[in-house]
Amino acid sequence: GEMQGVLNIDIKETESINQLRSVLQKTMSIKITDGRVMVGKFCCIDNGGNIILGETIEKRTFSLKTKDHPEGVLRQDERGLGLVVIPGKHVIECLVDDNSVQSNETS
């Protein structure tokens, strides 16, 4: 499903380390430079910003031209990848489903 509330994490900020600990094993959506989005459980990150996701699904949006729609219709394709390493240099954006994140605030 869609990610409801999201927490945008800048993996290059050192203040984010505690925040990263709080999202271990949470569902993370990572947009990469070729336009794909990887959605999986956040397992690990290293100093280079390389991220390991488990139970990953690759989502790819593309335009499909048909006879009825020569301008193209947007379609989304998904495939299961399992455990993946995403090089930090290809990461554009990391979003965490904050419904799955434990918050210290009481509502």
Query: Of all residues in the chain, what percent are helix, strand and coil, respectively (each to 5)?
Result: 10, 50, 40
Rounded CA-CA distance 11/97 in Å is 16
Choose between 99 and 78: higher pLDDT: 78
Rounded CA-CA distance 82/101 in Å is 22
**pLDDT at 46 > cutoff 90:** no
Tell me the β-bridge partners of 95: 8, 29
> Contact 60/39 with Cβ under 8 angstroms?
no
Quickly state the pLDDT bin for 12 (edges 50, 70, 90): low
Rounded CA-CA distance 94/20 in Å is 11
DSSP, collapsed to helix, strand or coil, labels residue 81 as strand
- Percent of the chain at pLDDT above 90? 53
**pLDDT at 100 > cutoff 60:** no
- Nearest residue to 95 (alpha-carbon basis) of 18, 1, 31: 31
Entry pTM: 0.74
Rounded CA-CA distance 71/86 in Å is 33
Rounded CA-CA distance 19/86 in Å is 19
Q: What are the tens digits of pLDDT across the range 66-76?
A: 899 899 999 99
